[in-house]
Structure 1
Amino acid sequence: MPRKARERSATGCYHIMARGINHTAIYNDDADNMNFLHILDFCADEDFTIFAYCLMGNHFHLLAKADADVLQHVMKAVGIRYVAYFNRRYQRDGPLFRGRYNSQPVTTKGYFLRVLRYIHRNPVAAGIVQEMQDYPWSSYLDYFGSRKKVLCQVDTSYALALHGLEWLRSYHQRPELNTRGMLEDSPLPAFTDGELRDFIRATAGMECHEIPLYPETITTPLLRRLVEQEGAGISQLARLTGLARGDIRRRLL
């Protein structure tokens, strides 16, 4: 069966994610994290712009802009070089990543900001650190910290031009969203249906209509996060997932 064609982004921006095969770790220590970032930095060129990254042990996230063909070329080059390094270091062979990388189009400024924050908040959401600035393997410090040595070139200018440094800092630190999908005193728009489908697919690895098929132990934290932190509406979630609004409200208690 031929592979499904990747969806192309009209803006050229993508949320990119890849996981280790069988959930295995792809970064075991600081040296692995450092080498991956060096390889990413080496493979990226003027046609591949990195807006954000986060390395998370058994997976990574990128927010980047590139033509679809350039994206494929760069990610393939990164994968080949890093797998060769990893296999050589740990005296193993075979694939390291679980299939192809996942790339979801980021088509609006609001969705761009959500993905930016989602990537930077990953270590906090996973319980690795309490504060985003305490995690060294994300681009959060490139935006809001004083990183002494650049690990990978990150273009912060686009996000900062949207709202400015203090607004972005506040947005990262204030995840409380109301149920209408708007941050208080913020121009951030609610998810469109397409954006919400893409976001769930990229962050949870499932389609909206598949959510009722998974155990509540898995989907309840996801639904709570989508409403309370990402601003998805209950009615919107009910329409896209097939869950009753009352069922979603029950899970939020």
Structure 2
Amino acid sequence: MNDLNRETAGVIADIDATAQRMADAARQAILPYFRVMNLHQDNKLEHGYDPVTQADRAAEQAMRDILAAERSADAILGEEFGTKSGTSGLTWVLDPIDGTRGFVSGTPTWGVLIAVSDRQGPFYGLIDQPYITERFIGAAGRAAMTSAAGTHPINTRSTPALSEAVIFTTFPEVGTPQEGAAFRAVAQQCKLTRYGMDCYAYALLAAGQIDLVVEAGLQAYDIQAPIALVQAAGGIVTDWDGGPAHEGGRALAAANVDIHAQALDLLRGTPK
């Protein structure tokens, strides 16, 4: 290993150690609120429904407290408490509960998202599901899953054609009517379509269980951890025009370049 590789490995190891402590702290903050009847919710939307709970806020604050103690020079972008500037060139991108609608419904498909990005985008991603104690981590071309069965490497699969693919999205309507129609054009070519998994769908893609995740209307904190994880596991994530997706908006995550190209052909050029 040359000096540059050693330096990169050391940076990733330090980031991973901090991220794991953050994920542990978020678990402790969240779980007392999960499946609590009549849990108080605030709705972020004047029209529609986008809940936030004390669990969201407590988890993000717990993670920020660790960053303040261990990595105060890094910037932060979080869903609940916004941005904090930094001087290191690195940004921690946090979504304390991705899938709060699932959380308040009692389904264990939500997750804690932690990403670290630089000017090129996210290079470290962690998805943690506290209730079923599954954690997925990807960085530097390696991805792994930790569960009750231990820790083992994960990789995306090599499904060659849409006709053999399993595709996920969170909401059946996907986004605008045009975006919904574009999603359905892809889904109609696939073997199986499923809905409602939030970030857990990306974890399943990284673990080689499914082939595609297609979404629209995302924020940066929704997608940066999934991007780093999926790419480290061998997949590809772009927007619907084949460009970077880490700023949010539309995302196409695919298990391999072949199936990505087939889906992209159907999505490309969808009116915004």
TM over 0.5: no
Give the structure-2-normalised TM-score.
0.35
Specify which structure has the bigger relative contact order, considering alpha-carbon pairs within 8 angstroms and separated by 6 or more residues: 1
More strand by share: 2
